[in-house]
């Protein structure tokens, strides 16, 4: 295995999100937005098992990120990490959520050979977070950024020096504006606590002095985006500035796993 993180996007989009992030000896999960049964199925497709997980890191409480959490926490003895605000909401809404393995995130946590840094993201949730994983002995870094209305200085700093970056490319602005969503929902998505557009994701990448080796475009809207459009938009932005050759673009999918190592899973582009 290479000395970069292996990332398998088990599911990514408006109907459910979960990502498997692995080193050569440790595995972590970000979000459980699938049913527990479907999550386990997709983990097995990726050559992994829930029992191998060092921890589950929850970004926020929206259903497309926690759908299978209650059943997972009941069935598996795996630490589950989230912010205080996220847990407070989850405990109030899901009285049956097993608490024995629930742990608050600190700004920085050491899990074996991996340091996990949590950082605030601007989204319409109680206390949402993104995560950076740093594989200490290999010097590799993977950062997970979705469900963010805009790129704050804190988010920008978290993404710095990432070798693998999972980055939201939620919607095409014109598709959203001309689509069937109610006006209030459109404004929410376009707002500072909504979601990143394809163009915004591409423009953010241009601000990075050093691009990640791989950028995984994630959390695509099924109504207001397409995998091809997200890929082509970001590709064009990087191409215009002569920076496309610095990185590899990968597009996550909603209905099947996509890996940054093609030997495991097929890719869309």
- Per-residue pLDDT 10s for the chain (269 aa) are 468 899 999 999 999 999 999 999 999 999 999 999 999 999 999 999 999 999 999 999 999 999 999 999 999 999 999 999 999 999 999 999 999 999 999 999 999 999 999 999 999 999 999 999 999 999 999 999 999 999 999 999 999 999 999 999 999 999 999 999 999 999 999 999 999 999 999 999 999 999 999 999 999 999 999 999 999 999 999 999 999 999 999 999 999 999 998 544 444 43
Query: What DSSP designation does 245 have?
Result: G
Domains of the chain and CATH, by start: 6-259 (3.60.15.10)
How far apart, in Å, are the Cα atoms of 252 and each of 72, 88, 103, 192, 212?
Answer: 23, 30, 28, 23, 16
Contact 135, 23 (CB under 8 A): yes
Query: Which residue, 44, 45, 20, 46, is CA-closest to 33?
Result: 20
Task: Report the chain's mean pLDDT, rounded to a whole number.
Answer: 95
Assigned token pair, 194: 């909504």
| Strand ordering across the sheet containing 27-30 | 102-104, 80-82, 53-57, 27-30, 18-22, 6-11, 258-259
pTM of this prediction? 0.95
Buried b (16+ CB within 10 A) or exposed e, 79-90: ebbbbeebbebb
CA–CA separation, 214 and 267 (whole Å)? 13
Q: Cα dist. 20→11, 106, 233 in Å?
A: 10, 21, 26
* Share of the chain residues as helix, strand and coil, in percent rounded to the nearest 5: 30, 25, 45
pLDDT at position 3: 82
Q: What is the pLDDT of residues 70-120, one digit of tens each?
A: 999 999 999 999 999 999 999 999 999 999 999 999 999 999 999 999 999
């Amino acid at each position: 295995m290479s000395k970069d993180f292996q990332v398998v996007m088990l599911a990514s989009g408006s109907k459910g999100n979960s990502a498997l992030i692995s080193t050569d000896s440790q595995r972590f999960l970000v979000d459980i937005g699938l049913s527990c049964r479907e999550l386990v199925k997709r983990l097995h497709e990726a050559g992994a098992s829930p029992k191998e997980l060092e921890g589950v890191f929850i970004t926020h409480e929206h259903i497309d990120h926690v759908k299978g959490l209650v059943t997972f926490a009941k069935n598996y003895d795996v630490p589950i990490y989230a912010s205080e605000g996220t847990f407070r909401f989850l405990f109030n809404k899901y009285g049956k959520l097993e608490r024995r393995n629930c742990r608050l995130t600190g700004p920085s946590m050491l899990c074996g050979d991996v340091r996990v840094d949590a950082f605030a993201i601007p989204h319409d949730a109680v206390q949402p977070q993104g995560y950076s994983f740093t594989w200490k002995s290999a010097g590799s870094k993977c950062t997970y950024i979705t469900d963010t209305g805009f790129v704050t200085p804190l988010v920008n700093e978290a993404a710095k020096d990432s070798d693998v970056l999972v980055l939201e490319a939620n919607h095409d602005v014109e598709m959203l504006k001309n689509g069937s969503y109610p006006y209030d929902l459109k404004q929410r998505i376009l707002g500072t606590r909504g979601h990143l557009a394809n163009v915004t994701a591409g423009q953010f990448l241009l601000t990075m002095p050093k691009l990640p080796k791989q950028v995984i475009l994630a959390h695509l809207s099924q109504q207001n985006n397409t995998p091809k459009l997200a890929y082509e938009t970001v590709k064009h932005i990087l191409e215009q500035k002569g920076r496309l050759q610095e990185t590899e673009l990968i597009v996550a999918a909603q209905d099947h796993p996509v890996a940054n190592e093609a030997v495991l899973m097929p890719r869309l582009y």
